[in-house]
Amino acid sequence: MYRTHTCNDLRLADAGKTVTLAGWVAIGRDLGGLTFVDLRDRYGITQLVFDMDDNAELCERARRLGREFVIQATGLVRERASKNPNRATGDVEIRVTAFEVLNAAKTPPFTIQDDTDGGDDLRMKYRYLDLRRNAVQQNILFRSALSLETRKFMAGQGFAEIETPFLIKSTPEGARDFVVPSRMNKGQFYALPQSPQTFKQILMVAGFDRYFQIVKCFRDEDLRADRQPEFTQIDCEMAFVHQEDILNTFEGLTKHLFRTTLGIELPDFPRMTYDEAMRRFGSDKPDLRFGMEFVELTAQAKGKGFPVFDSAETVLAICAPGCAGYTRKQLDELTEWVKRPQIGAKGLVYVRYDADGSVKSSVDKFYSPDDLKVWLQACGAQPGDLLFLLCGDDEKTRKQLSELRLEMGNRLGLRDPKVFKPLWVMDFPLLEWDEEESRFFAMHHPFTSPKQADIPKMESDDREVLAGIRADAYDLVLNGVEIGGGSIRIHDRDLQSRNFRLLGFTPEEAEAQFGFLLGAFEYGAPPHGGIAFGFDRLCSVMNGINNIRDFIAFPKNNQGRDMMIDAPDAIKQKQLEELGIALKGA
């Protein structure tokens, strides 16, 4: 037997027992007569003690142990003289009588501690050492618990877990595909799936009724903190359901995951239409942990001779509670903040409602205190509050003010990572106009069903009418992060063809790309719908962290590189030839 206990098992009640532990040397302290070693494994840390008076030879050997040596030690559990209340095993130590080095280790390039001294790339290169750090290990174990609980819940609801292929066909919609050359079909390529969307719909046509999968998806996009080229979804599809059934099932899953992994009972999730979310928060994924809702001041602000407002489509305000004391410097700095290219506002107007009831603004030249009081009242401002106003094109202004609202939420400490505010956003538009390509794209994906009442609008040529078509599409939002999205699908061949036409596909293109799906719809497709959760994101948001990399055992860096195995990499000429790929200039 390698060990009788793990490094987190022993307590005061075990004093007097002879035990054997195995693990890594976290740290050693040589105090002359006594040498202490913290022994670490996945479960915890236990202190070993070597006594010069007991066994000088043993103690000498212990002194030579380096960090991260793998050892096995046997000894007697005893009460510690100075206890460590921060550690589960902190009341005891092992007085070692024998130990063996199972494997020596080089000095690690960074310390294996919660606050490591290793930079990002170094930690990625030595990912196995980074994964040895407790904080990172706990994240990966959390992820494991979350996927096991997902399977439990889904199985309990009668879902079948079915795998779909990774080598599929490239499609023009959505993000860029990763492609894989085919050796047996030279000059042809598979694509890695951006999601199992069409396959899960086909599974419904096949009669599986309830499908789920915890599945890798691949998208060749520019990377950000919450994006990786390969990521994981909890992917689901259900037949013979209404939108309501899907929302209830996945609200149930989310509540189950919070209860079982964090011990948190979430109340029923509020719902909001896309239009309402845009109107109140300027975002389709509002963070509901704090208020600061948008107030429309267009009517009140126009017509007083301030040209900037007079020429704007929209004037919007938010009220920052308790911020009237902001200094000139703070206000200038926030003005610069909204003018950065990432936000793109032209300027920032403020109104200070001082504690003594006096009002001061950056547009005093154009507005009397009474004018400003009308704004303050519309915003429900109290003495001590500060209004921020942005103006311009309606859509852009909403986006900009949404960013400012989140920034103020951060600055005022209103985005507590331990508070969870889920929300269903519903009734998304079916189509989204793309100025650059001058055509409609599917806001969710091309298989999303328009709302029954809006189907006749699909015959229109009027862009406004088409943009107004609503879909049975929904997103789950948690603390301002989109956790997942889904929709009721089109299950009628003609309607699907009509939707492809709106998206600019000729009938031939639609047939070439999605003929298999259109064909399947001719053989008895049941009404169906589904959803997919971003699994990595769910892990990170539940832990109040915004980098999904921390929850992926082997992530890529921002250049899409795996620093540990050093991929991507060139391949041999022979491999290229087998694949029928000639590199330019080669």
Q: Which is nearer to ligand ASP, 277 or 471 (CB)?
A: 471
From CA 73, how far away is CA 95, in angstroms rounded?
A: 10
- Between 274-281 and 394-411, two packed helices, what is the crossing angle to 10 degrees? 70
Q: Does 487 bind ligand ASP (CB under 6 A)?
A: yes
Beta bridge partners, 180, equal 190
Q: Which two tokens stand for residue 216?
A: 């890798």
Contacts of 505 by beta carbon, 8 Å cutoff, 6+ apart: 513
- Count Cβ atoms below 10 Å from residue 550 Cβ, excluding itself: 18
DSSP 284: S
The phi and psi torsions of 40 (rounded to 5 degrees) equal: -120, 140
In terms of Cα–Cα distance, which of 501, 427, 440 is closest to 467?
440
The pattern of x and - marking residues 170 through 209 that bind ligand ASP according to CB under 6 A reads -------------------------x-x------------
Contact call for residue 517 and ligand ASP (CB under 6 A):
no
C-beta closer to ligand ASP: residue 7 or 426: 426
Q: Are 352 and 326 in contact (CB under 8 A)?
A: yes
The residue within the footprint of ligand ASP, chosen from 312, 486, 503, 556 (CB under 6 A), is: 486
Q: Name the residue with tokens 């309990």.
A: 156
The size of the interface with ligand ASP (CB under 6 A), counted in residues, is 9
Q: How many angstroms separate the CA atoms of 26 and 33, rounded?
A: 20
Q: Which of residues 388-447 bind ligand ASP (CB under 6 A)?
A: 445
Q: Least distance (Å) from ligand ASP to the CB of residue 195?
A: 3
Figure out which of the listed residues 422, 450, 485, 555 binds ligand ASP, where binding follows CB under 6 A. 485
Write each residue from 59 to 78 as x if it is in contact with ligand ASP (CB under 6 A), else as -, in one continuous string.
--------------------
Give the nearer residue to ligand ASP in terms of CB position, either 73 or 442.
442
Measured CA to CA, the distance from residue 39 to residue 73 in angstroms comes to 9
Closer residue to ligand ASP (CB): 23 or 530? 530
Question: Which region among 32-40, 400-408, 479-487, 514-522 touches ligand ASP (by CB under 6 A)?
Answer: 479-487
Q: Which is nearer to ligand ASP, 274 or 294 (CB)?
A: 274
Return the structure tokens found at 175: 């993000």
Task: Indicate whether 532 belongs to the interface with ligand ASP (CB under 6 A).
Answer: yes
Comparing CB distances to ligand ASP, the nearer of 89 and 197 is 197
C-beta of 227 vs 289, nearer to ligand ASP: 227
Cα torsion angle, 262, 230, 207, 237, sign: positive
* Backbone phi, psi, residue 21, to 5°: -120, 155
What sign does the CA torsion over 201, 202, 207, 208 have? Answer: negative
- Which member of 530, 541, 549, 556 binds ligand ASP (CB under 6 A)? 530
CB closest to ligand ASP, residue no? 195
Token look-up 């719809």 returns 521
Stretch that binds ligand ASP, among 288-296, 396-404, 408-416, 483-491 (CB under 6 A): 483-491
- Would you count residue 531 as binding ligand ASP (CB under 6 A)? yes
Least Cβ distance, residue 234 to ligand ASP (angstroms): 10
Q: By the criterion CB under 6 A, which residues form the site for ligand ASP? A: 195, 197, 445, 485-487, 530-532
